[in-house]
Structure formats: structure tokens, C-alpha cells
Amino acid sequence: MLQQIFQKIDEHYEEMIEIRRYLHKHPELSFHEKETAKYIAQYYEDLHMPYETNIGGNGVIATLKGKHPGKTIALRADFDALPIQDKKDVPYKSTVPGVMHACGHDGHTATLLVLAKVMQQFQNDIHGTIVFLHQHAEEITPGGAKPIVESGAIDHVDKVFGNHLWATTPLGTLQTRPGVFMAGTDKFEITVKGKGGHGAYPHETKDALLIGAEIVSQLQNIISRRISPLETAVITVGSFHAGNSFNVIADEATLVGTVRYLDEAVQAVVKREITQVVKGICLANNAEYDVNYSEGYPPVVNHEEDVATLFKASEHIPEIKEKYVSEAQMGGEDFAYYVRQKEGVFFFTGAQKERHSYPHHHPMFDFDERAMPIAAKTFISAYFESQK
């Protein structure tokens, strides 16, 4: 039966492309995905498949109950876009100024919708229940996964599988790892309050820009001198604003950045040391400060048994030429909330374009659409393997 399902997925490849490109042309930002949610709901309405909307916000969940007893397994796809201007010259370029699908979530959605359509044709042969989980707001904390979990919508689910089309690895590859697969993602904002003045008289001021620059430099010492070399963490200051004129010394500076970690004990050290560094530098410069540290998504921790199930399931898929246990990724994912509550695994499906490949979150981002049916086959193969 699995080969019959694969054949049907291939037969619907053009529909996958059509859905993906429509969504690519009509992106919506996190927590504002009203029309996308309606599109998804209408698709299930047309299939006459039971579904619910407004799950934890804009989430949509459809259910396909097989005729035979078995486990209930959720397959998750996210559908929000990013505040990036689409600079590709393609027919399906975003029509929304300053918003684009720059991470493949349009492909995730198309994959899951078509898989639902295909599997409905095999409903009488299915053991267990497939939950098609369409999640909003993956890109921005607090994200959509947490409120979906808190809503109780997956309380009855036994396992959750999640896929990301990965545009930086070749088509035909599958990667994941047991244990910590993706990093926890925190955010911090530091405000330095000095004393502004004339650029010609620095001795009469407390230069917030200079103090801020020292903080940027010293924050990296937390990684190199406060964290064990055997541990992994990242501190990145992505935004630094101070001053507005060439001859005026800034009285205030704002630094915004992210912390990535794999171990929560490391997170605690970094969080504490950031405040200590800022406090020490500002004290030395007789300046005031404020540190706002926000904890974001926790690390994605895959369940070992489900990783093994996934790799075994992939053996049935001829398009997968290479599968491997990857190193931990410092990117983050709110899929972490699902695998904190349920067994499951998050994995990457290679989707790199053969020419003109760009990374995720880039204005020229795109992916090889042939990865979508591979992801669909991986999902359903893992589903059947989990029922054994």
C-alpha cells in the first residue's frame, strides 16, 4: 500500500506546486495569518474532512480517522511568513510589500494539504488516526506551538512528527539527531543611559555609544571565558543604535541580540553573566543601564526511538539518497513545545536548489520544490512505521 500512496503523491505533485506558489504570492506575518488559515480550512472543507480552526490562535487541525485501531499521530506544518522584501524575479514572487515566505513554510503547508488529500483515498486501510496540524506563528515568540499545546488540542495524540524543507542541504538528503537537535533561542535588550554632549568636549559627557561598544566586545568573553569549551552557546548582537549626528555624543544606546544554547544550565550562566558584564562596564563608566532578557523557545529534543523509526521509514523512499545524524543546529524551532509534551521527532528534508541557492531568511530565498513530495512520503512512511 505504501508504494500506492507514493504513486498518488507523485500524481499530485503539480497541485503541491500550485498551492505552494499561491501561498508564496500571498504571505502573511506571524499572528496575522487570517487569510492563510481560511485557505487551509477551505481545503479541508472541500475534502469534507473534519477540521477545527482558531486553535491556539490561527491554527487549523484536520483529522483523518482510519478504519482500524492504532496510534494517533500528528504531522505538523507551519504557515507564517517573514518581514522581508522578496527580491526574486519569479512568477510566484510575493505580492505583499515587505513580506515573503523566506523559510519554506509555504512548502510545508502545500506538502501537508496534498498528503491529507491523498491519504483520504486510503482511509479504509489506515490503522490509527492522522492529525494534520497546521500551525501559525512559528517565527516569532511566543509562537503558535505553545498555545496549541496549552489548548489541549493534542492531548489525545501519541506522537508528533515535524519536517523542515532545508534549502542548504542537497535534494535527497534526510537529517536529524536523537536528543538535542535545535537550540534554545532567547532575546536580550540592553539600554545604556549616559550623558550626551558636544562631540568636541567628550570629557564633559558619558559616551553611551562608546560604553555600548565595550559591552558588545565583552559579551563575547562570556562564551570564551565563562562557558566550558565543551559546551555550545552563541551570543549575537544584531542591532546597535546610538546617536543621530556626527558631532553629538550619544546619551543613550540600545543593543538587541540573541542567545542560543543547547543546555539549560548553560542558558542560566549566559543569562546571569550578561547582566554582570553590563553592570560592571556601566559602573566603571558611571552610567546607568537596563537589561531585559526574554526566554524564547527551548531546545528541540528529539526522542531517540522516533529518530530510529524515521530512519527506518526512510529506507522505503527511493528519492532519499542519504540519511545521517547531523550535528546540533543553532537555529531554533517552537516544535520544541510538542516534543516536550509528546514523543516525536523533527527532521530536515534536503531542498537545495541546484543553481542560485540562498540561505533561509534571505530576500532571494527559494527551494527545490521536488523536496515536497519527498517530505510527504517521509511523513506517511514514518506514520506507518510508528503503527507497528
Average pLDDT by stretches of 10, the chain with 388 residues: 96 98 98 98 98 98 97 98 98 98 98 98 96 98 97 98 98 98 98 97 97 98 96 97 97 98 97 98 98 98 98 97 96 98 98 94 98 98 97
Nearest to 117 by CA among 21, 39, 43: 43
297, 318, 339 - which closes a domain: 297
- Kindly report the CATH number assigned to the domain that includes residue 291: 3.30.70.360
Asked whether residue 135 falls in the same domain as residue 11, the answer is yes
For the entire predicted model, the pTM comes to: 0.94
Pick out the residues of the known binding site.
103, 105, 139, 164, 361
> Would you list the DSSP string of 341-379?
HSEEEEEEEEEE-SSS---TT-TT----TTHHHHHHHHH
Pick out the residues of the known binding site for Mn(2+).
103, 105, 139, 164, 361
Out of 28, 33, 78, 80, the active site residue is 80
Out of 28, 78, 138, 252, the active site residue is 138
Domain holding 283, by residue range, is 190-297
DSSP label at residue 204: G
Spatial separation of the C-alpha atoms in residues 223 and 234, rounded to whole Å:
7
Nearest to 61 by CA among 146, 134, 138, 136: 134
Beta-carbon contacts of residue 332 (< 8 Å; ≥ 6 apart): 182, 183, 184, 185, 260, 296, 297, 299, 300
Asked whether residue 82 falls in the same domain as residue 161, the answer is yes
- The 3-state secondary structure of 114-153 reads HHHHHHHCCHHHCEEEEEEEEECCCCCCCCCHHHHHHCCC
- Taking only the tens place, the pLDDT of each residue in 120-141 is 999 999 999 999 999 999 999 9
Query: Is 86 assigned a catalytic role?
Result: no
Place of cell 474532512: 49
Query: Is 186 assigned a catalytic role?
Result: no
Nearest to 9 by CA among 381, 272, 299: 381
Asked whether residue 135 falls in the same domain as residue 220, the answer is no
Asked whether residue 209 falls in the same domain as residue 274, the answer is yes
How many Å from the N-terminal Cα to the C-terminal Cα in the chain? 15
Q: Are 208 and 251 in contact (CB under 8 A)?
A: yes
273, 297, 321 - which closes a domain: 297
Q: What pLDDT, on the 0 to 100 scale, is given for residue 166?
A: 98
297, 319, 336 - which closes a domain: 297
What is the tally of structural domains in the chain?
Answer: 2
Spatial separation of the C-alpha atoms in residues 249 and 266, rounded to whole Å:
36
